[in-house]
Structure 1
Amino acid sequence: MSTGNPRATLAAACVVGPLMTLVVTGPSVAVPDIGADLHSSLAAAQWVVDGYMLTASSSLAAMGSLADRVGHRRMFTWGMAFFAFWMAVSGLSNNILLLDVSRAVSGFGSGAALASITAIVAQAFDGPARAKAFGLFGTFLGAGLAFGPMFGGVLVNLWGWRSVFLVLAGVAVLVLLSTPMLPRTEPNRGPRFDWAGTFLFGFGIALFVLALVEGPGRGWTDAIVLASAAGCLVLLVAFVRVERRSEHPMFDLGLFARPQFLAVCLVPLVLAFSFVALVIVLPPYLTSTSGLSAFRIGLVLLLLTGPSLVMPAVTGVLAQKVSQRTLFVVLLAFSAVGAAWLTMVEPGASAVALAGPLLFLGIGYGISLGILDGAAVSAVEPERMGMAAGMFNTVRLTSDAVSMAGLGALVTALTKSALDTDAVSAYDGGAEALTSRALQGGLNEAAETLPAGEVRDRAVTAMADAYAAGLH
């Protein structure tokens, strides 16, 4: 193995990390402009984001295993080149079908790049230096999460929605220039690749994400949603059977018997509900219950996302002095306290009242960014680091999809059940219509259609209390 240039390796990783978060958060801001410019429906425009999530999450595990066989640097190079090309196609698309397809196809490239770069960093550093490297990597990953929507908004306002994709393509091309300086490992060729396991797992995860994406809009009893969920179950059961019989599986299920690796894979599921989903759920809640403007909501959310800029680097230093187990306990404790604290915040609460729980949740997530990626690949042998990185990132992205769909559906159901329907009966369309408006952040605008005075005040109070009860 050639060691390459450690500084160049870390620099490339610190660009790729936020790039792979910006590719989701940036284009999501551009969806309304895309729909208007290409004369598409909102559902078709939303697949600009959903299509990418589907292919990226379903291909990560396979790309990681394949990277172990062909070489991590080679797979990273292929992945970044593939990603850059299809991002450019996205930026030049003149119809929504081509844009949706190019975005979906680009997910395969990002899956290859993301699964490879984690293993590359682990091979370039060792011991305390590895902890520092992953701490810095986590800091830049946090920056992508914190400023992704702002990045997308600025580009859309200055140069239009196409600039988001073209800038991402340009950055990917710049990263490609660094690939000759990355460490190169000997491919672990071995017997033929496990294509059966690869396709079963990939299509299974794809159907799972499809069900989660379509469920909130179509309804969870819709035929397509149910068929996708059933297909996912069948394929994943078949995957487990195939992998257990294979001498050289795409993913060694025995890794889940290792406590460290299993713990690393379970933590993202917990954090997805305490951090990722809140970034989606909180803005409409604050608009409806507190009447905050978009700018003030952005400032409030910095209390949640801001710690992800600081804590990964701090965690990288602490990791040299305390055990990973201690850091896991600390991050879960911060997340648990923050979530419990948030349940005590009443509707209409000020930013000061929200500061405590949001900071605790943000600190817990920030700690995770500094240790999880490094812990995942450190739990296995060097020749299987790509496999471990791919499966870990699959769990991470799938957990995000589960949390966003699951928490949104749960809040909706609990809000409806807690609502005093008599109090909002005066609203045209009834409780169902008012709940829908409130969950989209339009409670105050909807209330203006009611007669001023007691009727309006009672309806708004009842809706806000139900919304808060659903979120709690």
Structure 2
Amino acid sequence: MTDTLRVPARSAADGPDPARRGWTVVLAGLGALLCSLDVVVVATALPALRADFGAGLSDLEWTISAYNLVFACLTLTGAALGDRFGRRRMYVVGLAVFTAASAAAALSGGPGPLIAARMAQGAGAAVLLPLTLTLISEAFPAEKRGVAIGVWGGVTGLGVAAGPVLGGAVTEGLSWQWIFWLNVPVGLVMIPLSATRLRESRGPRPQLDIVGLVLAAVGLTGLAWAPVRAPQAGWGSAEVICAFVVGVVFLAAFVAWERRARYPMLPLGHFRRRGFTTANAVSFLLYGSLLGALFMITQLFQTGLGYSPLEAGGRILVWNAMPLVVAPVAGALADRFGNRPFMLGGLLLQATGLGLLAWRVEPGVGYGELVVPLIVAGIGISLVFPSVANAVTQSVPRGEEGVAAGVSNALRELGGVFGVAVAAIVFTTAGGYGSPTAFVDGCGPALWVSAGVAAVGAAVAACAPGRTGG
């Protein structure tokens, strides 16, 4: 019997017919939507979780960071599994894991089971998200890829935009459990469609780099664990110091192993490409700024300013809805003018918007004073989403897009973990949950730090190659 999974993939120029390309954009976009939605959908439910479970700041931080931590540590694994066993096949597996974990999260009876389910969701997303970019890159030739990735960026932005609103509406109208139940029917519909409508393809490595997978996972876990635990254990504690040391040692071992592995999971030569290195650094800093700010802003509107979950989600929409309008246009323009102007300009706008927001945050501030800063920051992230994804996939040879996407997603989720951890540390140093005034006192400095992270990202983006650079 012919094994269709072993048929060599056609080149993208000869690739899928328009209908199959359409299905690829839709299904890959929905996968990206699910993954991005669950990064932020919990945000507006945090006060409800705190009241329902009696959860502290650490539990709330882990509810968001557990997903991002596992996502970051396993996303290279997800990309490698797709290259080895088939991207369509592993995409379906990732959907199944994500759907089952969503049901487990909905059934959670306390912070511990919820955090465990969020970790399982992160494992499913680690397979899904890097393959969304790979599937699109495989389906479209380079000259048309920017538009497709722009649509992908807009859909990803939809997840970011809809997350706080959907989380607030569901938490207020039903219960927080339903923010996870909603994933289940979507996943159950997508699984058979993905299995039948997507075209199978594989990456250039015929063997799985097991040693590399273990070393990378342990190293990234150590580096991510330390800042998440630092607010509770202390930066000078044995736990935090050991986590940093383990992370550094295992990542150094990973680099040494990859230099001599026959089929390396991460060809280190990619990092000699300025476009690849700067794009990944930009991704790390963008998501550090974005998720750190989101962690604080969703709570600011409820705990600090007294809005309901739905009212808070609706007011945040002017920030997070911008990618729906701007990202597809930015992706198309990046094909024409290059990615650097959009990465640089977007991060400058993100830094400016968050800085203005931090400046205006004070007890009793009216929503009207926060709208313009939120819009400015929203336009900023909209410019960066598609251009950084485009820069990553364009900076490596054809066939390596899966590896490139895996690295980019690992670093961006790791950036999100660091961003939330740093925001939480600054918040607890300057304020707390004792009163709305105490919360606002801590929120302002935390937002200034998130603005600073975006400004550093802009400096890195300025070092990216021009349109014809390498």
TM-score under structure 2 length normalisation: 0.81
The question of 1:382 aligning with 2:398 is answered: yes
SS of equivalent residue, structure 2 residue 336: coil
Aligned counterpart, 2:384: 368
Q: Which of 239, 242, 250 pairs up with 2:257?
A: 242
Q: Which of 438, 442, 446 pairs up with 2:436?
A: 442
Cα distance in 2 between the residues matched to 1:342 and 1:154: 24
Aligned counterpart, 1:317: 332
**1:133 Cα deviation from its structure 2 partner:** 1.3
Cα distance in 2 between the residues matched to 1:281 and 1:32: 12
Q: Which of 269, 274, 290 pairs up with 1:254?
A: 269
Aligned counterpart, 1:142: 157
Aligned counterpart, 1:76: 91
Cα distance in 1 between the residues matched to 2:408 and 2:237: 31
The question of 1:293 aligning with 2:287 is answered: no
SS of equivalent residue, structure 2 residue 246: helix
40-49 vs 359-368, which moves further: 40-49
Aligned counterpart, 2:236: 221
SS of equivalent residue, structure 1 residue 247: coil
Cα distance in 2 between the residues matched to 1:209 and 1:468: 25
Cα distance in 2 between the residues matched to 1:285 and 1:164: 20
Identity value in percent = 25
User: C-alpha offsets along residues 307-350 of structure 1, whole Å, 9 cap, x if unaligned?
Assistant: 22211022123224322223223223323443555565474654
The question of 1:175 aligning with 2:171 is answered: no
Aligned counterpart, 1:420: none
User: C-alpha offsets along residues 246-296 of structure 1, whole Å, 9 cap, x if unaligned?
Assistant: 23221112211111111210112332354332222335556788x463566
* Alpha carbons of structure 1 residues 330 and 45: separation in structure 2 relative to 1, 3 Å: closer
* Alpha carbons of structure 1 residues 361 and 77: separation in structure 2 relative to 1, 3 Å: same
SS of equivalent residue, structure 2 residue 399: helix
**1:46 Cα deviation from its structure 2 partner:** 6.0
Counterpart contact for 1:275–1:362, Cα < 8 Å: no
**1:159 Cα deviation from its structure 2 partner:** 4.1
Structure 2 letter corresponding to 1:185: S
Counterpart contact for 2:44–2:313, Cα < 8 Å: no
Counterpart contact for 2:50–2:60, Cα < 8 Å: yes
SS of equivalent residue, structure 2 residue 224: helix
Ranges in structure 1 where 5+ consecutive residues have no aligned partner: 416-434, 447-462
Counterpart contact for 1:338–1:359, Cα < 8 Å: yes
* Alpha carbons of structure 1 residues 411 and 32: separation in structure 2 relative to 1, 3 Å: closer
Cα distance in 2 between the residues matched to 1:42 and 1:359: 28
Counterpart contact for 1:61–1:394, Cα < 8 Å: yes
Aligned counterpart, 2:346: 331
Counterpart contact for 2:46–2:299, Cα < 8 Å: no
SS of equivalent residue, structure 1 residue 248: coil
Ranges in structure 2 where 5+ consecutive residues have no aligned partner: 1-8, 449-470
Aligned counterpart, 2:3: none
Counterpart contact for 2:293–2:446, Cα < 8 Å: no
Aligned counterpart, 1:24: 39
Q: Residues 55-66 of structure 1: matches in 2 within 5 Å?
A: 55-66=70-81
* Number of residue equivalences: 430
* Alpha carbons of structure 1 residues 323 and 109: separation in structure 2 relative to 1, 3 Å: same
Aligned counterpart, 2:454: none
The question of 1:166 aligning with 2:213 is answered: no
Aligned counterpart, 2:221: 206
SS of equivalent residue, structure 1 residue 381: coil
Counterpart contact for 2:288–2:412, Cα < 8 Å: no
* Alpha carbons of structure 1 residues 202 and 436: separation in structure 2 relative to 1, 3 Å: same
* Alpha carbons of structure 1 residues 26 and 114: separation in structure 2 relative to 1, 3 Å: same
SS of equivalent residue, structure 2 residue 337: coil
**1:10 Cα deviation from its structure 2 partner:** 0.8
SS of equivalent residue, structure 2 residue 262: coil
Counterpart contact for 1:115–1:389, Cα < 8 Å: yes
Structure 1 letter corresponding to 2:344: V
Cα distance in 2 between the residues matched to 1:321 and 1:85: 42
* Alpha carbons of structure 1 residues 356 and 166: separation in structure 2 relative to 1, 3 Å: closer
The question of 1:410 aligning with 2:426 is answered: yes
The question of 1:263 aligning with 2:286 is answered: no
* Alpha carbons of structure 1 residues 344 and 102: separation in structure 2 relative to 1, 3 Å: closer
**1:145 Cα deviation from its structure 2 partner:** 0.9
The question of 1:90 aligning with 2:84 is answered: no
Structure 2 letter corresponding to 1:367: L
* Alpha carbons of structure 1 residues 318 and 253: separation in structure 2 relative to 1, 3 Å: same
* Alpha carbons of structure 1 residues 87 and 351: separation in structure 2 relative to 1, 3 Å: closer
Aligned counterpart, 1:304: 319
**1:155 Cα deviation from its structure 2 partner:** 2.9
* Alpha carbons of structure 1 residues 102 and 360: separation in structure 2 relative to 1, 3 Å: closer
* Alpha carbons of structure 1 residues 69 and 22: separation in structure 2 relative to 1, 3 Å: same
Structure 2 letter corresponding to 1:74: R
**1:97 Cα deviation from its structure 2 partner:** 4.9
Q: Which of 97, 108, 111 pairs up with 2:123?
A: 108
SS of equivalent residue, structure 2 residue 236: coil
110-119 vs 221-230, which moves further: 221-230
Cα distance in 2 between the residues matched to 1:151 and 1:327: 29
Q: Which has the larger radius of gyration?
A: 1
User: C-alpha offsets along residues 417-444 of structure 1, whole Å, 9 cap, x if unaligned?
Assistant: xxxxxxxxxxxxxxxxxx3246xx6227
* Alpha carbons of structure 1 residues 10 and 406: separation in structure 2 relative to 1, 3 Å: same
TM-score under structure 1 length normalisation: 0.80
Q: What is the aligned-residue RMSD (CA, Å)?
A: 3.1
Counterpart contact for 2:98–2:124, Cα < 8 Å: yes
Aligned counterpart, 1:460: none
Cα distance in 1 between the residues matched to 2:83 and 2:60: 36
Aligned counterpart, 1:354: 370
